[in-house]
Structure 1
Amino acid sequence: MNNYIAHIRESDYQEQSVEEHLLGVKTLAEAFGAKMGVRHIAGLAGMLHDMGKYTEKFRSYILEAVNNPDAPPKRGSVDHSTAGGKLLYNLFHTGKIDRYKGMLAEIVGNAIISHHSYLHDYLNPDLESKYLQRVRDKDDLSEFEWTEQLFFERVISEADFRLYVDKAAAELESYLYLETTASSETKLMFLTKFVFSTLIDADRTNTRMFEENKVEEPSQDHTALFASYYKKLMDKINSFASHIQSQTPINMLRSEMSLQCDKFAERPSGIYTLSIPTGGGKTLASLRYALRHAEIHEKKHIIYIVPYTTIIEQNAAEVRKILRDDANILEHHSNVIEDASDDDELSDGMVNVQQKLKLAKDNWDSPIIFTTMVQFLNVFYAKGSRNIRRLHNLAESVLIFDEVQKVPISCVSLFNEALNFLRTHGHSSIVLCTATQPALDFVEHKLEINTDAEMIDNLDHVVDAFKRVEVIDQATDEGFSNDKLYDFIIEKAEEVRSILVILNTKTVVKKLYQKLKMNEPHVPIYHLSTSMCASHRNDLLHEIRRYLENNDRIICISTQLIEAGVDVSFECVIRSLAGLDSIAQAAGRCNRHGERDLQRVYVIDHTEENLKHLPEIKEGKEISRKILIDLKQDQTYHGGHILSIQAIEKYFREFYSKFESKLNYPIAELGTKMTQLLSANLMDNSYFQAYYSKHKERLPLFLANSYRTAAEHFNVIDNMTTSVIVPYEEGGKNIIAELNGNSGIADLTKLLRRAQQYTINLFKYELDQLDKNSGLESCFEGKVLVLKEGAYNDEFGLDLENDSGFDLSIY
């Protein structure tokens, strides 16, 4: 009797049988699926996903590939992922179809046939069903009957299999029965993605463990760990009581708000708001809530989601310092490797570069995770199995969204629906942290925020108590050129020791910096932008903080990256007119800790900023201007000042109204919206209607979602960027050298995490320019891009302006 092989280990050529792999993946997938009450649905995907390896074709293929690595078999010669989906279709989607088993066949079948790429469309813009083409119409599976026989002989008997499917169908019925505001189509969309996530992670984890010759990793119970973390945090908080300043009104208010968060943690999981003003101790208060809630309600992970990579390091460092644990805190900035275009089915079974990258542990299973809004949204909506692999670990977790007002406008509805799913079905608790709460419950696809959602009592009083700055309107009188702004900065430098200037585009930031640097040689001048890698920015921020702590003279010119949570405190801030949320964040960098009496934040209108390609900043700027004009005419309007709760609420309502047509992620080239592609019901699905008109019959499916088409058109930001590792200092250079070596899977996992500190995200035109100038090279067979040393400098980071004819002002 032949031993059918799932994988052959690289180190010792040990074989893993198909049944060992299928049952191992089933067990892991069941554990992942149990978090959401879909143990058997996820397990069904696990036990069937590689059923197609029960063929002589695949057995010959994998043996030839291992025995002849220099002349491997022809790519495309074996398909092993269709069989499991076809089995489900044949058994439960033909003849008299039970509704729940029919839907189950579609949901689980799609996950199976897609597990080496990305979910298929049930119906695409060309009115084709790629799903049906695989599970119903594919006619070159000559060994299918033999495959089916072996599966029922070696993995599970047919009778037991049908009982297992009965349990999975019952889970599906219960899942859909749970009453929520979401449509059935939306529920099924998220369920499909969740099941796909459990399969991808279970498959890759089992394969990695076999390749590393380790036993299966036990599921982690972090309850005791969170309890120990909570004790450490409380020791830190209690130590504040001995400080001489602990009884000041502000510190007593901080302590009271922290205690309110602690008590709030006892409440059931839900979607809540935490609107502590800047300087109110938001990081520690939110951590106190998260640890306490995770301990009480047995949550699996605590995940901090921030708008920019700039503040990940700062927040993570603060938490590490308190919890004294590096190993269990993960920072995930960006995907150093993108796998969106990979279909790796034909390399499965043998270890090569692509397999190593695929198997590297990248699944957000750490107890505490810091990541970005881009990465969070990519988990749900971007193409590529690396992103969606993490989805199941968002269930039964505490998610803290820092500066939540920075959700990109086109992603508002997608963001709201993802959070509603995690709250209702994923049993997660979600906290929206910001001093400027956006009106996310005002839009069409509303966020289901809990009643009495605000954690802090008497918020108006708290906002007044934490007032540290006076916002001076200089934007409604006259404009500022860079030359005029330079003169204004020099004038203010006579009055204060430290000045922060925040402008809307990289070009004006750089020009102003160069002018100050040239004309003010005796004053330390600093420049910050996203052209620098995280490690570079951190080094500069460390120097900047040293000047500020010593009360030395300093001027810093930055893009808006410094606004969201970066812990710096200048005597004076000058902010180019933008949305009220940006003005509020800029104000938070002035007199941040109340070191001085009321300080001034000047809002100016910079006339040289080209906002043509930045419509959200442009529109936010105009709405803010109107509110400033209102206040100039009557100081009692909008709560009496530009950063009042009333002014912020008016701003976001008007902002979302202006962009109403963009909130559902419109896709112009397809003439539809992302929300329609993902979860429109059959009667509202234009492709479904067109299919009926063309074929004079209904699409023979319960689902018509266009998952892959949607993912192919999804970018959190309009201009797609690519992560590139830079040779900054010895750290970046060493990582590049190690990536050019021959790393094992475990080493590669650690290396890719370290590399995130040394990456920048580049637009296509920047990549093209670098390629033209020989500034780029690659390693890992082109999967990882790196900058050559001449393309990165210690002052600006990436600097293409001297070499390119491109207009950088639009960025």
Structure 2
Amino acid sequence: MSSYVSHVSEDGSRREPIEVHLREVADMAAEFARPFEAEAWAYAAGIAHDIGKYSTEFQNRILHNGPKVDHSTAGAFELSKNPMAWPLSYCVAGHHGGLPDSGVREDDGVTLFGRLRKAEEGDIPSYSSFAESVEIPVVTGLPSVLSSHKQSAGQEKGARDLKFSAAFFTRMLFSCLVDADFLCTERFMKGAGRSELSAKSIPELCDMLENRLESFYPPKTDLNKIRCGILDDCLRAATGRAGVYSLTVPTGGGKTLAAMRFALQHSLRSNGETRRVIIAEPYTSIIEQNADVYRDIFGKENVLEHHMNFDFDEKEELDSCSDADLVSRLKLATENWDVPIVVTTNVQLFESLHSNKTSRCRKLHNIAGSVIVLDEAQMIPAPFLAPCVKVLAELVKYYHCSVVLCSATQPALERFFEEEGLSVSEIATSAKGLFDAMRRVTYRTIGAINDHDLAERLSECEQVLCIVNSRKQARSLYERMANEVDGNQDDRGIYHLSTLMYPDHRRRVIEKIRMRVKSSGGSCEACRVVSTSLVEAGVDLDFPVVYRALAGIDSIVQAGGRCNREGKRGLDDSKVYVFCPAEAYAIPPEVKQRASIAQGFLAEASEYVGLVKDGDAEFDFGLPETIRSFFDRLYFFKRANGSGGVNGLDREGILELLCRYTASKKGVFIQFAEVARKFQLIDQGSCPVIIPVPEIMDELRALKEGCISRIPLRKLTRFSVSVYDHDVKALLGAGAIEAVSEGVYVLADKKRYREDTGLDLEVQGGEGICW
């Protein structure tokens, strides 16, 4: 065959020779790998990835719509002939379906070794003609990110670290390859490359932020003096070397802009090694709030908001942009994060860093050379803390990243980074002084209290927020108070918030609450709110009184951040009451464990009176040393007491899979797909139930007809409630919901969704028959 074809344009008028595609992908992948000095490795992967297309069978497929053909095993097999190039074999084998598990030779072809065996036995189409057009480069020696390991392979920790680094290096190479392959293929099919975002450089972004901050100086109030002091600390600390930093700032200290000032100024001083800032948040509500702030300062084209609930087609700030092509270009940027400022979720960041899928891994090479700001760092899930710290340390040590741990309740992560050979530098010069200066509330413990008495106490307050650990208790308290007062929800000024309300519904209620708690003309509207913990971070509320069910000390302090938030009241008028529910509500094991550790602190305090005994005692939960000690105990307990001998900070054994895989003459056995399956920050034991409101009837109709795209499906998540599997079964048995696709349900009994409390999960006997 005189000309082997890689792609044919949709109109059939153009054909791309395989050799052209291979060299373009190789060149682009090499450029992507330049920040971590792996150009030769990425180039080899690019040349080899599609040599399987040099077969008669594939040419029949591409030119005559013949049967599908495995074209990726060929390149993986050729690369496997060089024992040093095993990372490239994984990358090429998985460049369409994702990084595979190693498996064994006897596998049926899904795993890497099963596929290599088939190639060795001649059970894939012949591709030998590739040698007439291209030559696969031979990589020799260790890549720099591996050769820079200073320990000897004989040391156990050194050997484990080297294996982790090799596995992560494979994932980064994979990112370079698949992003280059997607982009080059897209360019040919469209006949042109992507329209680039007119993004600013790091120096330009620094100037834009500094221009905004000029108005803050000189500070005119005590609070602004504190905030400017924090900003100044960030400017000074930014001159430091790449590494791990903490920014410990009380609620209201202005860390949103302070962290960005550090990140951009730190990038400016990195000699070109730092290319972007990534802000990772635990909740979408915080992302939406902060992304709007950043867009206002830097412009829409410089800020990418990336999370599952974001809908580019409906974002008003983007729709109003004069550049009609901007929305499309930002959508494309979610694929590889080729934008100077990315605001995303912890889930998106950490699951991508442990993923094997092409869609999630494309962005990884663009994380190299980033300042990664982890806002509300205490929200990194403890059962995955060890692999999260390990991968962050890897990025700092070998991929020119810096990490900033931001929080008012700073987790005690120093020891974990020290185990990785890294120290944590605090940016705020006087964190203790900041907390003293910004003390806004008094914490008191009031012991055990039943719902009846608690509801009475809440009803006596004109404005009060009560946060509990159970959705069932939140509803119970709300209904006790609501039943005592006539009128609708707004007339009564009594509100309920929980995750049984779909996100758009919660957002509307929170906005109502926010408006009521703001003083208007000296008057004060009644506003009594019962909520689960969803209001503790990223929700800008300011109550004079807060009640908090016993939980982790970090949660209690975050609840305190919703009390006297603006600092306009005195300490005596700003109380946070901590209580133990007298009723036995089921709460998640993680919350129960954290509450138990917090109760231990109280039992040890000399002034302790409440929570076990009757009485009312003061206890300062907000002291930085108390918060640090709490996390020390939590992490020590989890590390030492994981179930079945498993480290409780690595519940799924991710590090065992990535640090203790085996290598032999037959190859390197590593389970990339298994790691991705196990690393799920959000428990998978729940399903979405869509609430059929008028705004989404068209999307629901399309979903039922099986013709809905990914973006409208994302829109539906804003009108969905996450329901545990056992509740799904009960609701199905009662005929309250119906399945519309695998794992997705729609509420059939509309009476079960109330405007004040959301979805009713209670199933009464006789409603349905379960065989």
> Which TM class, normalised by the smaller chain length?
0.7 to 0.9
Q: CA deviation at 1:87?
A: 0.7
2:54 aligned residue:
54
| Pair 1:190-2:168 in alignment | yes
Rate the CA distance shift 1:593–1:316 in 2: closer, same or farther, 3 A.
Answer: same
2:665 aligned residue:
700
TM-score under structure 2 length normalisation: 0.83
1:645 aligned residue:
624
2:655 aligned residue:
675
Q: Match for 2:215 among 239, 250, 258?
A: 239
The residue identity in structure 2 corresponding to 1:238 is E
Deviations 1:677-725 (A, max 9, x none): 111164xxxxx8xxxxxxxxxx424633222223223321344455677
2:154 aligned residue:
none
Rate the CA distance shift 1:490–1:753 in 2: closer, same or farther, 3 A.
Answer: closer
For residues 696-775 of structure 1, the aligned pairs below 5 Å read 699-701=664-666, 703-721=668-686, 730=695, 732-733=696-697, 757=718, 761-765=722-726, 773=735, 775=737
Contact map agreement 1:575 1:603 (CA 8 A) in 2: yes
Deviations 1:370-391 (A, max 9, x none): 2222222211224533222222
Contact map agreement 1:631 1:641 (CA 8 A) in 2: no
Q: CA deviation at 1:656?
A: 1.1
Q: Match for 1:379 among 332, 349, 352?
A: 352
Rate the CA distance shift 1:726–1:326 in 2: closer, same or farther, 3 A.
Answer: farther
1:457 aligned residue:
429
1:423 aligned residue:
396
1:597 aligned residue:
570
Q: CA deviation at 1:471?
A: 0.5
2:505 aligned residue:
536
Contact map agreement 1:198 1:389 (CA 8 A) in 2: yes
1:517 aligned residue:
482
Rate the CA distance shift 1:644–1:124 in 2: closer, same or farther, 3 A.
Answer: farther
Deviations 1:297-336 (A, max 9, x none): 342221111122232111212222333x223322222389
Rate the CA distance shift 1:255–1:117 in 2: closer, same or farther, 3 A.
Answer: same
How far apart are the structure 2 equivalents of 1:653 and 1:500?
Answer: 29
Rate the CA distance shift 1:233–1:540 in 2: closer, same or farther, 3 A.
Answer: farther
Q: Match for 2:245 among 262, 267, 272?
A: 272
SS state of the match for residue 716, structure 1? coil
Q: CA deviation at 1:769?
A: 6.2
SS state of the match for residue 78, structure 1? coil
Q: Match for 1:88 among 55, 74, 79?
A: 79
For residues 630-669 of structure 1, the aligned pairs below 5 Å read 630-633=604-607, 641-661=620-640, 666=646
Rate the CA distance shift 1:89–1:288 in 2: closer, same or farther, 3 A.
Answer: same
The residue identity in structure 2 corresponding to 1:708 is A
SS state of the match for residue 311, structure 1? helix
SS state of the match for residue 579, structure 2? strand
**Higher alpha-carbon deviation: 300-309 or 16-25:** 16-25
How far apart are the structure 2 equivalents of 1:265 and 1:526?
Answer: 44
Contact map agreement 1:473 1:603 (CA 8 A) in 2: yes
The residue identity in structure 1 corresponding to 2:150 is E
For residues 301-450 of structure 1, the aligned pairs below 5 Å read 301-323=276-298, 325-334=299-308, 362-382=335-355, 384-443=357-416, 446=419, 449-450=422-423
Deviations 1:731-775 (A, max 9, x none): x4566678899999xxx7876776665565554446656777484
**Higher alpha-carbon deviation: 56-65 or 440-449:** 440-449
SS state of the match for residue 267, structure 1? coil
The residue identity in structure 2 corresponding to 1:626 is G
How far apart are the structure 2 equivalents of 1:253 and 1:125?
Answer: 64
SS state of the match for residue 269, structure 2? helix
| Pair 1:172-2:146 in alignment | no
Rate the CA distance shift 1:296–1:628 in 2: closer, same or farther, 3 A.
Answer: same
2:445 aligned residue:
473
Rate the CA distance shift 1:510–1:383 in 2: closer, same or farther, 3 A.
Answer: farther
SS state of the match for residue 132, structure 1? helix
How far apart are the structure 2 equivalents of 1:371 and 1:552?
Answer: 36
SS state of the match for residue 426, structure 2? coil
| Pair 1:215-2:215 in alignment | no
Rate the CA distance shift 1:209–1:774 in 2: closer, same or farther, 3 A.
Answer: farther
SS state of the match for residue 519, structure 1? coil
Rate the CA distance shift 1:258–1:572 in 2: closer, same or farther, 3 A.
Answer: same
TM-score under structure 1 length normalisation: 0.79
| Pair 1:253-2:226 in alignment | yes
Deviations 1:603-647 (A, max 9, x none): 0112335346x2221111111112123224479xxx983221221
Q: CA deviation at 1:361?
A: 5.3
1:342 aligned residue:
none
Deviations 1:754-808 (A, max 9, x none): 6665565554446656777484565xxx6995746866957368625145889xx
Identity %: 29
The residue identity in structure 1 corresponding to 2:290 is N
How far apart are the structure 2 equivalents of 1:196 and 1:777?
Answer: 37
| Pair 1:132-2:104 in alignment | no
Q: Match for 2:128 among 137, 148, 172?
A: 148
The residue identity in structure 1 corresponding to 2:343 is F
How far apart are the structure 2 equivalents of 1:628 and 1:742?
Answer: 55
How far apart are the structure 2 equivalents of 1:596 and 1:671?
Answer: 44
Contact map agreement 2:727 2:761 (CA 8 A) in 1: no
Contact map agreement 1:362 1:749 (CA 8 A) in 2: no
Rate the CA distance shift 1:763–1:64 in 2: closer, same or farther, 3 A.
Answer: farther
How far apart are the structure 2 equivalents of 1:270 and 1:704?
Answer: 32
Q: CA deviation at 1:407?
A: 1.3
| Pair 1:620-2:594 in alignment | yes
Q: Match for 1:122 among 97, 102, 114?
A: 102
How far apart are the structure 1 equivalents of 2:106 and 2:345?
Answer: 35
| Pair 1:103-2:78 in alignment | no
Rate the CA distance shift 1:538–1:42 in 2: closer, same or farther, 3 A.
Answer: farther
Q: CA deviation at 1:217?
A: 6.4
Q: CA deviation at 1:89?
A: 1.7
Q: CA deviation at 1:273?
A: 0.1
The residue identity in structure 2 corresponding to 1:85 is A
SS state of the match for residue 327, structure 1? helix
**Higher alpha-carbon deviation: 81-90 or 24-33:** 24-33
SS state of the match for residue 583, structure 1? helix
SS state of the match for residue 150, structure 2? coil
Contact map agreement 1:332 1:753 (CA 8 A) in 2: no
How far apart are the structure 1 equivalents of 2:484 and 2:415?
Answer: 49
For residues 6-25 of structure 1, the aligned pairs below 5 Å read 6-10=6-10, 14-25=14-25
How far apart are the structure 2 equivalents of 1:321 and 1:416?
Answer: 32
How far apart are the structure 2 equivalents of 1:41 and 1:725?
Answer: 46
- State how many pairs are aligned: 715
How far apart are the structure 2 equivalents of 1:543 and 1:81?
Answer: 56
Q: CA deviation at 1:566?
A: 1.9
Where structure 2 has 5 or more consecutive residues not aligned to the other structure, the ranges are: 152-157, 312-330, 610-617, 767-771
Contact map agreement 1:89 1:136 (CA 8 A) in 2: no
Q: CA deviation at 1:600?
A: 0.4
How far apart are the structure 1 equivalents of 2:339 and 2:697?
Answer: 27
How far apart are the structure 1 equivalents of 2:641 and 2:24?
Answer: 44
Q: CA deviation at 1:193?
A: 1.1
Deviations 1:133-181 (A, max 9, x none): 222444564676x52332x333x3x3xx43xx34xx3461563324387
SS state of the match for residue 483, structure 2? helix
Where structure 1 has 5 or more consecutive residues not aligned to the other structure, the ranges are: 66-72, 93-101, 338-357, 683-687, 689-698, 807-811
Over the aligned positions, Cα root-mean-square deviation in angstroms equals 3.8
Contact map agreement 1:206 1:216 (CA 8 A) in 2: no
Contact map agreement 2:178 2:362 (CA 8 A) in 1: yes
SS state of the match for residue 46, structure 1? helix
Rate the CA distance shift 1:724–1:389 in 2: closer, same or farther, 3 A.
Answer: farther
Q: CA deviation at 1:28?
A: 2.4
**Higher alpha-carbon deviation: 464-473 or 176-185:** 176-185
1:99 aligned residue:
none
Rate the CA distance shift 1:519–1:63 in 2: closer, same or farther, 3 A.
Answer: farther
| Pair 1:227-2:187 in alignment | no
